[in-house]
Amino acid sequence: MESVRALMDAALDDPATRIVIDLEQRTVRAPGLDETFDIDEFTAWRLLEGLDDIGLTMRHLDAIADHEARRPAWLPTA
C-alpha cells in the first residue's frame, strides 16, 4: 500500500510525473520507486493482447457461426 500512496502523491505533486508500468516484467517505476507486482497470467495476457470480454468472444466467431448453423430452425433466435 505504501507504493500506491507514493505513486498517488507523486502524481498529485506533479501531474507530469512519469510512471512506467512494464506488464511483461511486472514492474512499476517512478521517481524514487521501483516495485514489482503480481498479476495472474491470463489477465496479463489479455491486457498485453488488448482483449476485453468482447475481444475474447470474437476470437471464436467461426465456432459460434458453426454452432448457430447447426441449431435446429425451430429454436428461437433471440
pLDDT digits (tens, 9 = 90+) for 4-45: 998 999 899 999 999 999 999 999 999 989 999 999 999 999
pTM for this model (two decimals): 0.65
**Are 66 and 56 members of one domain?**
yes
> Residue 18: its pLDDT value, please?
95
How many folded domains does the chain comprise? 2
**Are 48 and 30 members of one domain?**
no
**Are 45 and 78 members of one domain?**
yes
* 44: Cα within 13 Å, side-chain hemisphere: 12
Long-range contacts of 15-21 (CB under 8 A, 24+ apart): none
Measured at the CA of 46, the angle between CA 7 and CA 65, to 5 degrees, comes to: 155
Task: Report whether pLDDT(60) > 90.
Answer: yes
